[in-house]
């Protein structure tokens, strides 16, 4: 049995920290013996030769750096090779946002009217829903199973102000964009929705498709009215009776209890004619307008039967007309959103958060996460390319050395605030779930995955304190190299914590 497990006991004196080239670093009062750093470096190199370099000999590009939290490199292979980082790049987004926004920063979403509210409860003019890049409008984590809470809360507050009827339209004021470097083939998947300053359900629609009986060559032809379908489906799953006003125009087939499963193309309706999957909405702002209208109906507010999406101009004051209403919804504090963004590795959340920090400036999309290199005094080496924020673009290029240097500098600058954002090994509900089991207390890391690309970067920790930093990026591999990467991390754990039972 591997002793590096949750709840395992280690005498403090037995836990070794890898040291700076100058030596004399201590953990628990125990220093590294002379020559031991060199022997550990040789052991790490041997592990890489056994576990990682066969990938390179088979044609993959392998870039890896391992070192101490103070920046001393103990092992490096192709550290300056330009590679696609995949979602490890989200570490740079998180660091850049922490550097630019205050710790108590909250994203705001505003509802205001363009006309006055009269004594009969009629709101003259339009009702405007103005976005503020809040990724958590659909829930505290990406892909929430109940994306209505914030929308229902805002609608209820509109009703409490005395609004019964909206005379004008429902206007969504929000910027919207799609990173130009994203590949068209990805747009059908839930990890690649168009990005907007205000999104419902992470910009996704539930698509119920009839697999027989009529032509489905146009995917949208078989789409249920959404989010009416979402509301009806969730109400039924929650044991509630869906109000008649929310019933779709076409009869809803009987729902199976597995509706909330994430797999696509699964037959979730009884019978063989229906299936459901999740697809990005091509018009996320109008999807949000439809969702908010359903929440307004649920709160007893009528009218606003038409939807309009407009760009939110820089400097917009979200100001109501004289005699009108204004309601503000605030997100949880910044770190409460950065952690789930990294844990789940949501591209939509990363792009929205990065936009709040400046990646969309007056309609021009320019990822600004490289700014954190200057903030943390990390060298900007030639060839670095920031094609998007989230790391989904295959046009991003980074060095493994730069990733390692970010891990060192961010831990040095922000300490526990920074490391608390990363998922633990095998943490349920994160991109590390099912990986590195038994190392929950000693591995914190961010994953990355694209076709023919896998990456992992993070720390080995003792009592929450980093004792080793590592970055491993594999490109152009025809297999799935996560197994080799994880085996290498297990070897690092063995070397650092003297786990004699480890078998390579």
Shared domain for 136 and 222, answered yes or no, is yes
Higher local confidence (pLDDT), 392 or 315: 392
Residue 257 burial (CB < 10 Å; 0-12/13-18/19+)? exposed
Percent of the chain with pLDDT over 90: 62
Q: Identify the pLDDT of residue 34.
A: 47
Q: Identify the pLDDT of residue 277.
A: 60
Q: pLDDT band for position 497 (50/70/90)?
A: confident
Q: For 63-110, what is each residue's pLDDT tens digit?
A: 999 999 999 999 999 999 999 999 999 999 999 999 999 989 999 999
Of 332, 348, 383, which marks where a domain is finished? Answer: 332
Shared domain for 197 and 279, answered yes or no, is yes
Shared domain for 303 and 422, answered yes or no, is no
Number of domains in the chain: 2
Domain that holds residue 385: 41-101+335-497
Q: Of 486, 425, 415, 384, which Cα lies nearest the Cα of 80?
A: 384
Whether the per-residue pLDDT at 274 is higher than 60: the answer is no
Q: Identify the pLDDT of residue 8.
A: 33
Shared domain for 373 and 277, answered yes or no, is no
Q: Give the phi and the psi of residue 430 in degrees, each rounded to 5.
A: -120, 175
Residue 168 included in any domain: yes
Whether the per-residue pLDDT at 138 is higher than 50: the answer is yes
Alpha-carbon gap, residue 407 to 443, rounded angstroms? 14
The region, left, alpha or beta by phi > 0 then psi within -120 to 50, assigned to residue 204 is beta
Of 332, 356, 374, which marks where a domain is finished? Answer: 332
Q: Of 254, 256, 208, which Cα lies nearest the Cα of 228?
A: 208
Whether the per-residue pLDDT at 399 is higher than 90: the answer is yes
Of 303, 332, 361, which marks where a domain is finished? Answer: 332
Cα dihedral 316, 321, 322, 328 sign: negative
Q: Of 225, 223, 226, 114, which Cα lies nearest the Cα of 170?
A: 114
The number of beta carbons lying within 10 Å of the beta carbon of residue 26 is: 10
Shared domain for 284 and 431, answered yes or no, is no
Q: Are 167 and 303 in contact (CB under 8 A)?
A: yes
Q: Are 384 and 402 in contact (CB under 8 A)?
A: yes
Alpha-carbon gap, residue 456 to 52, rounded angstroms? 13
Q: Identify the pLDDT of residue 72.
A: 95
Higher local confidence (pLDDT), 167 or 32: 167
Shared domain for 322 and 346, answered yes or no, is no
DSSP state, 201?
G
Mean pLDDT of the chain: 81
Can you read off the two tokens belonging to residue 54?
A: 């066969």
Can you read off the two tokens belonging to residue 19?
A: 């040291």
What is this structure's pTM? 0.82
Shared domain for 97 and 171, answered yes or no, is no
CATH number at residue 348: 3.40.710.10
Q: Identify the pLDDT of residue 262.
A: 31
Residue 19 included in any domain: no
Shared domain for 57 and 129, answered yes or no, is no
Alpha helix ranges (H) inside 135-283: 149-160, 228-237
Residue 13 included in any domain: no
Alpha helix ranges (H) inside 121-170: 149-160
Which residues contact residue 162 at a Cβ distance below 8 angstroms, ignoring those fewer than 6 apart? 117, 121
Give the C-alpha distances (Å, rounded to integers) separating 52 from 136, 403, 448, 453, 484. Answer: 38, 18, 16, 14, 6
Residue 1 included in any domain: no
Q: For 19-37, what is each residue's pLDDT tens digit?
A: 323 232 322 223 455 456 6
Q: What is the largest CA-CA distance in the chain?
A: 84
Residue 136 included in any domain: yes
Q: Identify the pLDDT of residue 19.
A: 30
Residue 14 included in any domain: no
Q: Give the phi and the psi of residue 471 in degrees, each rounded to 5.
A: -145, 125
Residue 154 included in any domain: yes
Whether the per-residue pLDDT at 354 is higher than 60: the answer is yes
CATH number at residue 216: 3.50.80.20
């Amino acid at each position: 049995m591997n002793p590096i497990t949750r709840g395992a006991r280690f005498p403090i004196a037995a836990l070794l920290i890898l040291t700076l080239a100058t030596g004399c670093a201590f953990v628990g009062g125990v220093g590294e013996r002379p020559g031991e750093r060199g022997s550990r470096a040789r052991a790490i190199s041997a592990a890489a030769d056994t576990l990682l370099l066969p990938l390179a000999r088979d044609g993959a590009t392998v870039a890896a750096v391992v070192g101490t939290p103070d920046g001393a490199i103990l092992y490096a292979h192709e550290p300056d090779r330009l590679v696609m980082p995949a979602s490890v790049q989200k570490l740079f987004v998180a660091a850049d946002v922490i550097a630019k926004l205050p710790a108590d920063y909250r994203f705001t979403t505003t509802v205001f009217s363009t006309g006055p509210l009269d004594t009969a409860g009629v709101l003259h003019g339009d009702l405007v829903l103005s976005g503020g890049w809040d990724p958590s409008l659909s829930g505290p984590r990406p892909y929430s199973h109940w994306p209505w809470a914030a929308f229902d809360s805002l609608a209820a507050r509109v009703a409490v102000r005395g609004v019964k009827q909206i005379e004008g339209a429902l206007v969504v004021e929000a910027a919207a964009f799609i990173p130009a470097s994203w590949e068209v083939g990805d747009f059908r998947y839930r990890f690649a929705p168009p990005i907007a300053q205000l999104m419902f359900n992470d910009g996704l629609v539930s698509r119920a498709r009839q697999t027989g009986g009529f032509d489905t060559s146009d995917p949208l032809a078989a789409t249920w009215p959404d989010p009416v379908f979402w509301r009806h489906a969730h109400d039924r799953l929650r044991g509630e009776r869906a109000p008649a006003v929310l019933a779709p125009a076409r009869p809803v087939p009987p729902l199976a209890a597995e509706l909330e499963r994430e797999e696509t193309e699964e037959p979730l309706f009884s019978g063989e004619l229906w299936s459901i999957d999740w697809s990005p909405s091509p018009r996320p702002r109008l999807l949000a307008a439809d969702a908010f209208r359903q929440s307004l109906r649920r709160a007893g507010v009528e009218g606003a039967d038409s939807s309009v999406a407009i760009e939110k101009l820089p400097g917009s004051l979200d100001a109501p007309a004289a005699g009108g209403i204004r309601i503000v919804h605030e997100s949880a504090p910044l770190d409460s959103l950065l952690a789930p963004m990294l844990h789940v590795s949501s591209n939509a959340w990363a792009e929205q958060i990065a936009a709040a920090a400046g990646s969309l400036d007056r309609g021009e999309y320019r990822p600004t996460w490289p700014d954190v290199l200057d903030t943390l005094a990390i060298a900007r080496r030639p060839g670095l390319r920031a094609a998007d924020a989230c790391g989904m673009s295959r046009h991003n290029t980074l060095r493994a050395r730069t990733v390692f240097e970010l891990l060192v500098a961010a831990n040095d600058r922000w300490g526990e605030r920074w490391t608390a954002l990363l998922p633990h090994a095998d943490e349920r509900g994160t991109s590390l779930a099912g990986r590195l089991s038994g190392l929950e207390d000693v591995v914190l890391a961010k994953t990355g995955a694209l076709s023919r690309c896998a990456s992992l970067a993070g720390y080995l920790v003792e009592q929450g304190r980093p004792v080793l930093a590592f970055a491993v990026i594999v490109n152009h591999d025809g297999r799935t190299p996560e197994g080799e990467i994880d085996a290498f991390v297990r070897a690092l754990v063995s070397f650092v914590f003297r786990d004699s039972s480890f078998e390579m």
